[in-house]
Structure 1
């Protein structure tokens, strides 16, 4: 599966700072100092509907991570999956009387268009669950053969008790886990499971649903968590720098994935930092496909909204914050974009060397994008109110905003 084209990232003078970021597992801020190649895995979409603002906010956060690392003169190895076979996709295809593969392909294509428009840097490896199946099957077999998985009516489940470190990603108690498991795709009430929290690794073929050859597992399809584990281990190995996604993925998805990988490899932890973006609400409720309270990136673009303004709207909120999308949020972003473009359109201006360092410092401090925007706002106000004589300043500001914030002026 191919990703989307990369926009050029301008080089800035000097060098950026190492990233300090909030780690869900430790509930504290840690400093990441990767080697020459920084490694990140971000969980991708289940393509049964278009990209909404909540998705865009999550991918914007991890785009900032990449930009901070690139500014430290590191390379970035970024991997993202597409869950192109799963219950929600099959249910939507059935509801709309569409072929599930065509639905997945069309929505993934739209996602690529949205990411391109928003200038999100693409992953080097963009892998669909279906194409990952040949690598998933052996992992499930290994877990079963090691006694870390068991069969139940043809399905194969992972035993969470096989991992002594289970629970160290989300730090939730058993009751909270059980409630979230029921809400987020698990089946804690299924009879015959050894532990209600045990997640499915391999689902035996169901009538009328797609299935693949699972060797000794029989025909079926993979569970959600093992999909990402197989892709991450294949392309990043263990103890990569960041496992990322929305805050609703901390449990069960990232918790279960970590346990799968840790049992498979005997190593701990799967990732050095578990980083989670906040949820975006609309009309007082979290934006979600199940509720239908969505603002689509593609719809905003069709309505003539500049993608740079959409990105500025996302950047105006800290990535870990839960916030609400409103018309005012977008209007403020549109006005900010106009001010910034007017300021950098002048032939000369106020020296901007200090601004570059302010933006770097803000982003290195747990991706504090609102502080970075405020720093640019201050420069813009001075630029508009004062006659400067630095001919290089407008260009430097444009390159800084592009390189570090992903906004093309």
Structure 2
């Protein structure tokens, strides 16, 4: 059976036919680094990590690009609220994102470009669109540049909408637009915005619009045409719709397949900061290990909405521990378990069927049950093959406890880090209280105590930060 994936553009499952034989190219829209990542944020990273692992396990030489949006209206707004430079906020939140991905064993992509590192490519693409009659500079002196949606008859095909049924684009001042649905390619700098958040351009100082960033970065690293474009379901419109329109209007075929993962919800609503129900990763990892949280995310199909609950997370943790217990007992009998096992046919069939991880996990548990019977029967050669098969399937899902990325025992290093964090934050709270009461001697003594332990403290407008 060939790999079949549900294409969001055609709204049907399609066999994967790579543009280049034996190779696969994948571009995923990463996060806008404006705040600490929560469980809903990292689901996309985990889901597309599984895709790249399965592509590689299936023999494809895979190039995987996942960008980071590090300049954006929301970043500017939040940095202003916190009275800190926007680039400092973006940098800190990018580090938080990297830590969250690492705690869930999300493998690094082939490359992770930043929007701010690709201004020349963005400007060149905008100039190309203007030259082809698909974009225009506003005539109000704002230095804004817009994509002319009426100039591209296919606009709306990705999300299945007609232009006349769409609401006005809300990503820029409407005064300079020819049509309220036109979206911003370049945003002229406003007086209220910091000078550091703008770059010179033929239209005046400013910064790129959100959508053009991804088109430019995908083109730079994957070329005008590539296999897969992925991201969260909420990106299908307007972000991905606009990406496709501007890229194809510039003469680039762009993505052959569109893949979208569903949301994680709480109380039936999309998990988000605005709802106040987000669950940041370090807090969740105080309750379960990273490998158990990843199992919880992987066990659901990537296109299925997940209603988050700690009860369900606990159930998932216990289910994964049953797999771990089998591997531990098998290792006691046969020694080190080989890592070159063969996945069972049911697992392969499930993964080839639109990354059917629920059925794949079910097949994995069936093999574990078979292995437990072999443990009881003492058939060592057969047990070795079954245990190796389990490790092989776990590796595809990013769940092999023996993967060095997890550290000892599938996450003990992570628990140690969290324990240190709790202790350090306790001392920092004492120091903050001492400073508030102007007990400078105690505050300095606490800082020196931490410094002697190799921990550096940085006082920031958002509070003290520590690092080793």
Q: Same fold (TM over 0.5)?
A: yes
Aligned to 2:32: 46
Aligned to 2:450: none
Residues 322-331 or 398-407, more deviating: 398-407
- Output the CA distance in 2 between the equivalents of 1:273 and 1:23: 6
Aligned to 1:263: 249
Aligned to 1:4: none
Q: CA RMSD in A?
A: 2.1
Residue 195 of structure 1: how far off its partner (Å): 2.1
Residue 177 of structure 1: how far off its partner (Å): 3.3
User: Residues 18 and 72 of structure 1 are in contact (CA less than 8 Å); yes or no, is this contact kept in structure 2?
Assistant: no
Aligned to 1:97: 83
2:258 counterpart SS class: strand
**Please, which of 308, 319, 341 is the counterpart of residue 324 of structure 2?**
341
User: Residues 150 and 156 of structure 1 are in contact (CA less than 8 Å); yes or no, is this contact kept in structure 2?
Assistant: yes
**Please, which of 392, 395, 419 is the counterpart of residue 403 of structure 1?**
395
**Please, which of 290, 299, 315 is the counterpart of residue 316 of structure 1?**
299
**Please, which of 179, 197, 201 is the counterpart of residue 195 of structure 1?**
179
- Output the CA distance in 1 between the equivalents of 2:329 and 2:59: 30
Correspondences of 1:126-275 after superposition (within 5 Å): 126-152=112-138, 153=140, 154-174=143-163, 177-178=166-167, 181-182=169-170, 186=171, 190-209=174-193, 210-265=196-251, 267-268=252-253, 270-275=254-259
User: Residues 355 and 375 of structure 1 are in contact (CA less than 8 Å); yes or no, is this contact kept in structure 2?
Assistant: no
User: Residues 343 and 390 of structure 2 are in contact (CA less than 8 Å); yes or no, is this contact kept in structure 1?
Assistant: no
Which deviations, in whole Å up to 9, do the C-alpha atoms of 1:177-205 show, x marking residues without a partner? 327x44xxx35x82442222211000011
- Output the CA distance in 1 between the equivalents of 2:342 and 2:255: 34
Q: Confirm or deny that 1:393 pairs with 2:385.
A: yes
Residues 210-219 or 196-205, more deviating: 210-219
1:340–1:59: structure 2 CA closer, same or farther, 3 Å change rule?
Answer: same
- Output the CA distance in 1 between the equivalents of 2:384 and 2:3: 28
- Output the CA distance in 1 between the equivalents of 2:369 and 2:160: 45
- Output the CA distance in 2 between the equivalents of 1:51 and 1:59: 11
Give TM-score scaled by structure 2 length: 0.77
Residue 83 of structure 1: how far off its partner (Å): 0.7
1:391–1:374: structure 2 CA closer, same or farther, 3 Å change rule?
Answer: closer
Which is greater in Rg? 2
Aligned to 2:61: 75
Greater relative CO (CA pairs within 8 A, separation 6+): 1
Q: What are structure 1's unaligned runs of at least 5 residues?
A: 1-16
User: Residues 19 and 68 of structure 1 are in contact (CA less than 8 Å); yes or no, is this contact kept in structure 2?
Assistant: no
- Output the CA distance in 2 between the equivalents of 1:88 and 1:46: 8
- Output the CA distance in 2 between the equivalents of 1:222 and 1:120: 29
1:173–1:263: structure 2 CA closer, same or farther, 3 Å change rule?
Answer: closer
Q: Larger helix proportion, structure 1 or 2? A: 2
User: Residues 45 and 106 of structure 2 are in contact (CA less than 8 Å); yes or no, is this contact kept in structure 1?
Assistant: yes
Residue 125 of structure 1: how far off its partner (Å): 1.5
**Please, which of 342, 357, 361 is the counterpart of residue 369 of structure 1?**
357
Aligned to 1:57: 43
1:55–1:139: structure 2 CA closer, same or farther, 3 Å change rule?
Answer: same
Q: What are structure 2's unaligned runs of at least 5 residues?
A: 335-339, 402-468
- Output the CA distance in 1 between the equivalents of 2:157 and 2:176: 26
User: Residues 355 and 379 of structure 1 are in contact (CA less than 8 Å); yes or no, is this contact kept in structure 2?
Assistant: no
- Output the CA distance in 1 between the equivalents of 2:14 and 2:200: 40
Residues matched between the structures, number: 383
Residue 289 of structure 1: how far off its partner (Å): 2.2
- Output the CA distance in 2 between the equivalents of 1:114 and 1:262: 34
- Output the CA distance in 2 between the equivalents of 1:393 and 1:307: 27
**Please, which of 321, 326, 337 is the counterpart of residue 309 of structure 2?**
326
User: Residues 41 and 232 of structure 1 are in contact (CA less than 8 Å); yes or no, is this contact kept in structure 2?
Assistant: yes
Give TM-score scaled by structure 1 length: 0.88
- Output the CA distance in 2 between the equivalents of 1:80 and 1:208: 31
Q: Confirm or deny that 1:117 pairs with 2:103.
A: yes
User: Residues 371 and 386 of structure 2 are in contact (CA less than 8 Å); yes or no, is this contact kept in structure 1?
Assistant: no
Residues 253-262 or 286-295, more deviating: 286-295
1:199–1:299: structure 2 CA closer, same or farther, 3 Å change rule?
Answer: same
User: Residues 364 and 390 of structure 2 are in contact (CA less than 8 Å); yes or no, is this contact kept in structure 1?
Assistant: no
- Output the CA distance in 1 between the equivalents of 2:203 and 2:35: 31
- Output the CA distance in 1 between the equivalents of 2:84 and 2:2: 47
- Output the CA distance in 2 between the equivalents of 1:234 and 1:405: 29
- Output the CA distance in 1 between the equivalents of 2:98 and 2:390: 25
Which deviations, in whole Å up to 9, do the C-alpha atoms of 1:113-148 show, x marking residues without a partner? 111121112111211111111211111122123221
Q: Confirm or deny that 1:281 pairs with 2:239.
A: no
User: Residues 342 and 392 of structure 2 are in contact (CA less than 8 Å); yes or no, is this contact kept in structure 1?
Assistant: no
1:40–1:354: structure 2 CA closer, same or farther, 3 Å change rule?
Answer: closer
User: Residues 70 and 76 of structure 1 are in contact (CA less than 8 Å); yes or no, is this contact kept in structure 2?
Assistant: yes
